[in-house]
Amino acid sequence: MTTDVVEILKEPRMIKICAPMVRYSKLQFRTLVRRYGCDICFTPMILANSFVQSPKARHNEFTTHKEDQPLIVQFAAKTVNDFVDASEMVAPYCNGVDLNCGCPQRWAIQDGYGAGLLKKPELVKDLIYQVRNRVSRPFTVSAKIRLLKDIRQTIELCQTLEKAGASFLTIHARTPEMRNEPIDLESLKLLRDRLQLPLVANGDAKSLESAQSLFTESRCEAVMSARGILTNPALFSGHSTTPLTCVQDWLDISSTIPAEFQCFHHHLVFMLEKILPKKDRVLFNSLQDKSSVLNFLENYYNIKPNVSNAIELTKCNFNTSHVRCKKKYNNCWEDDSSTDFLRSMFNANS
């Protein structure tokens, strides 16, 4: 893929990014937000180890089509082999890979993933450096971090990653301990002053106006939204709440690229949160199957899916020949408890 995400980030305008979201920033949702002004999308976090070892994990966790770019695939990794192998395998089908250094969940930190990596700058440096050396530009290698309590340590970490060859960094301007407190804009500004590489500002961009003020005040190159864009996928095109055209688009997209019922319904629950009156919302949120959801939307808004030509998914032939460490696959993705674990991971205040 030839699109250069770094070049996009250098454009003198606010670059708008859809955040990695476990369960939610999947192909169908990415297709939707790209119709509403989103410049770059991230996949949900994927465990690099499972991706490398299991064809089933690859199939379940990664789908794309030719319009689905620029696309950054986010991995949770803690060994160079896993991150490099996963990156090489997915490289033909995306524009860059990102290392999750921000997941604040206890399991992730205990297992040395996510925010657990913030305390291991040498390891993170190595992960970034090795991928940079193995996959050539314009493919990007980046990291998404949270702040450390000590801003000097955060600056040092980012400078180390810059030297290791990171293409850009995303800063969720909270520490792993922070939940719903306002973001730390001052730290973001300090980081911008001390680094040369492009920075993506993340945290509380819930409308185009708040994204724009984060962009202006932080002087970062781009703004990433998670909860805001989930509630209103048309956020970056200036709509203050989800327009009905966007709900219509979601119905059309998810009938063309079928989504599991839960995913299909959850997205609608988020999208309608601000536009359905409470009593109708309670009913809508309790619906249990696709036909009742479609009936509700037809009766309430007079919309129903337009069946259009199928969107052809990219056939991904992942090259596994370079996978050096053929560990026994531990069935992690087939084990319900670990899947639930991952699913619940970002549910609260991530």
Question: What residues form DSSP beta bridges with 16?
Answer: 223
Smaller CB distance to ligand FMN: residue 30 or 255?
A: 30
CA angle 60, 242, 169 (to 5 degrees): 55
**Would you say 228 and 16 are in contact if contact means Cβ atoms under 8 Å apart?**
no
Q: Which stretch binds ligand FMN (CB under 6 A): 18-26, 116-124, 243-251, 272-280?
A: 18-26
Q: Which stretch binds ligand FMN (CB under 6 A): 20-28, 308-316, 324-332, 335-343?
A: 20-28
- Is residue 101 part of the annotated active site? The answer reads no
Decide: is 74 part of the binding site for ligand FMN (CB under 6 A): yes
Instruction: Mark residue 23 as left, alpha or beta (left: phi above 0; alpha: psi -120 to 50; beta: remaining).
Output: left
The distance of Cα 302 from the centroid of its chain, to the nearest Å, equals: 32
**Would you say 26 and 44 are in contact if contact means Cβ atoms under 8 Å apart?**
yes
Among 5, 38, 45, 208, binds ligand FMN (CB under 6 A): 45
Residue 25 CB, shortest distance to ligand FMN, in Å, is 7
Q: Which stretch binds ligand FMN (CB under 6 A): 15-23, 246-254, 299-307, 321-329?
A: 15-23
Q: Is the peptide bond before 176 cis (omega within 30 degrees of 0)?
A: no
Q: Is the peptide bond before 182 cis (omega within 30 degrees of 0)?
A: no
Among 5, 18, 19, 108, binds ligand FMN (CB under 6 A): 19
Helix spans in the chain (H): 5-9, 27-34, 48-53, 55-61, 80-90, 106-111, 121-134, 151-164, 185-194, 208-218, 227-231, 244-256, 261-272, 278-285, 290-301, 336-344
Smaller CB distance to ligand FMN: residue 74 or 254?
A: 74
Smaller CB distance to ligand FMN: residue 32 or 45?
A: 45
- Which is catalytic among the residues 18, 101, 103, 246? 103
| Residues in CB range of 110: below 8 A, 6 or more apart | 116
Pattern of binders to ligand FMN over 132-151, x per CB under 6 A? ------------x-------
Among 5, 34, 44, 141, binds ligand FMN (CB under 6 A): 44
Rounded to 10°, the helix 261-272/290-301 angle is: 30
Decide: is 226 part of the binding site for ligand FMN (CB under 6 A): yes
Residue 227 CB, shortest distance to ligand FMN, in Å, is 3
Smaller CB distance to ligand FMN: residue 47 or 89?
A: 47
Decide: is 346 part of the binding site for ligand FMN (CB under 6 A): yes
Site for ligand FMN in 152-211 (CB under 6 A): 172, 202-205
Backbone angles phi, psi at 25, to 5 degrees: -85, 50
Instruction: Mark residue 345 as left, alpha or beta (left: phi above 0; alpha: psi -120 to 50; beta: remaining).
Output: alpha
Residue 324 CB, shortest distance to ligand FMN, in Å, is 26
**Residues contributing to the site for ligand FMN (CB under 6 A):** 19-22, 24, 44-45, 74, 100, 102, 144, 172, 202-205, 225-228, 346, 350
Q: Which residues are known catalytic residues?
A: 103
